[in-house]
Amino acid sequence: MRKLRNKELNRLSVEEFKQTEKTPIIAVLDNIRSLNNVGSVFRTSDALCLEEIFLCGITPTPPHNDIHKTALGAEDSMSWEYYEDTLSAIEHLKKNDYKVYCVEQAEGSTSLISFKPQLGEKVALIFGNEVKGVQQSVVDASDGCIEIPQFGTKHSLNISVSAGIVLWEATKHIRGLQ
Total domain count for the chain? 1
Kindly list the distances between the CA atom of residue 2 and the CA atoms of 6, 8, 11, 72, 178, in Å, as whole numbers in the listed order. 13, 12, 18, 24, 27
CATH number of the domain where residue 91 is located:
3.40.1280.10
Closest Cα to residue 54, out of 18, 19, 87?
A: 87
Domain that includes residue 44, residue range:
19-174
Give the amino acid at 88. Answer: S
**Helix 159-174 × helix 35-47 angle, to 10°:** 20
Q: What is the mean pLDDT of residues 111-128?
A: 95
pLDDT attached to residue 120:
84
98 within some domain: yes
pLDDT attached to residue 172:
95
In this predicted model, what pLDDT tens digit does every residue of 7-36 receive, in sequence order?
999 999 999 999 999 999 999 999 999 999
Q: What is the mean pLDDT of the chain?
A: 96
3 within some domain: no
